[in-house]
Amino acid sequence: MFQTRNDLSEGIRVKVVELLNARLADAIDLQTQLKQAHWNVKGPTFIALHKLFDEIVEDVEDYVDDLAERAVQLSGTADGTSRTVAKRTTLAEYPAAASGTEHVEAVGKVLAAFGAQVRAGIAAAAKLDDADTADLFTEISRGVDKWLWMVEAHGQSK
């Protein structure tokens, strides 16, 4: 940990930085999985899904940056290398998919899994009395829920 005048104790900051780096790994993995869907989607809904997946990636890039910067603000180090992400991610591997329907299913699953981890982060940060990190997780959770709704709408007909 680096020197800081932040009034959270070092013990709390160490735990929060660990939590942030765990979600950072997931967010970077989510970003790459969404690009996989964006690049490879096929079928009659191609253009709509191709654009949708890229819009989600743009928001996830912001989540990645916000998580990494919060870890550094707390005098920690952001661990976002591809090797670290591969070791730490809690998200399942993205499946082989081609059709729009297959990608909608896969993207929906990964967004839901990431959303669940972020919501757990809200509770963990609150338990550590770090309202700012809990708020960051809340902001990310709201965004993920919005994108999950939009993705799932592509698979719903009633």
- 40-91: pLDDT as tens digits: 999 999 999 999 999 999 999 999 999 999 999 999 999 999 999 999 999 9
- Give 7's DSSP letter: S
The residues spanned by each domain of the chain are: 18-153
CATH fold for the domain made of 18-153: Ferritin (1.20.1260)
User: Residue 42 forms beta bridges with which residues?
Assistant: 99
| Torsion angle (degrees, nearest 10) of CA 72, 27, 8, 77 | -30
User: Quick check: 126 pLDDT over 70?
Assistant: yes
Question: Tokens 């839901």 sit at which residue?
Answer: 112
Question: pLDDT grade, residue 124 (50/70/90)?
Answer: very high
